Amino acid sequence: MKKWLLVAVVIIAVAFSGCGGGSTPTKDVKSIFETWLEAAKAIESMRADHSLAIETCPKGSSRCTRVDIEGRLYVKDNKQLDELELTVGTTKQRIRQYLFEDEVYVATMVEGEWVANKVDLPLYFNSAEGEAEMESLYKRGALVVGTAVQTRSIAGEECACVTLSAQLSKLSTVDREFLLFSGGLSTISNVDTYIDAINSYSMKLCLLPNGMVLDSEMNLGFDADALPPDGIISSHILSTVLDYEVNPVIPDSLFNLP
């Protein structure tokens, strides 16, 4: 599980307000991020209730598509189950999403029973791959931490918020694929076109020393001229953790497919 982002909604092609706090220049931003990164890698299991909003904007249109999501995420080792309710306008749908080492399944309710089907994705990074890629981007200077940290109170806990931005000239093809995946575009069919069209990537993470991310905001942008007429020119994801447990006892049977 990508603990730095908490949830990847792989089937969609696509902060709390009123939190106090201030922004202060500090020489310790990197150490805050590195402390969190090490703690995140050490998390073996987790349960998190979360909310998520994904907004994608198509080329040549002023109307963006927004998907609002409420869910509960279970993680153990390299297995992940996310129970989700998706809302698009007035339409709601419940799904279960199973992410394993190299397979993804999505379950929907059919006549009162959950039915799971395997999903073949153009882009997929499992838990271990996602964590390794995130750390690699940072250590190579391809993902740079900003120069200021903001302290915020979220869900009763004090966290440190840092910003990161991608250095496009340092990104490999695999790096760009990872940015597409983390930006909610794992289902796109013309991957090569989007890889070449990325022109911006940034995120803000509100971190706890125990390895959790309480709040995150991600922005991924593309060169519209390089995309087809129906291409996605931007993706914006807001994610907030409402409640969580680190290293709870989670039975393996929870990840059995229905």
Measured between alpha carbons, how far is 90 from 241 in angstroms, rounded to an integer?
A: 24
pTM comes to 0.86
Residue range(s) defining the domain that contains residue 246: 23-255
Residue 146 and residue 162 in contact, taking contact as beta carbons nearer than 8 Å:
yes
Does residue 4 fall inside a structural domain? Answer: no
Please tell me which residue, 187 or 27, carries the higher pLDDT value.
187
Task: Give me the CATH number covering residue 233.
Answer: 2.50.20
pLDDT tens per residue, range 186-244: 888 889 999 999 999 999 999 998 888 999 999 999 999 999 998 999 999 999 999 99
Give a yes or no: residue 63 inside a domain: yes
Residue 223 lies in a domain: yes
Residue 10 lies in a domain: no
Q: How many Cα atoms sit within 13 Å of 80 on the Cβ side?
A: 28
Structural domain contains residue 12: no
Q: How many CB atoms lie within 10 A of CB 62?
A: 6
Quote the pLDDT of residue 42. 86
What's residue 219's pLDDT? 95
In a domain, 71, yes or no: yes
Within-domain flag for 7: no
Answer yes or no: is 236 within a domain. Answer: yes
* DSSP element (H, E) containing 47: strand 45-58
Task: Please tell me the total count of domains within the chain.
Answer: 1
Decide: helix, strand or coil at residue 28: coil
Question: What is the per-residue pLDDT across 130-144, written as a single tens digit (0 to 9) for each?
Answer: 888 989 999 999 999
**What is the model's pLDDT at position 226?**
95
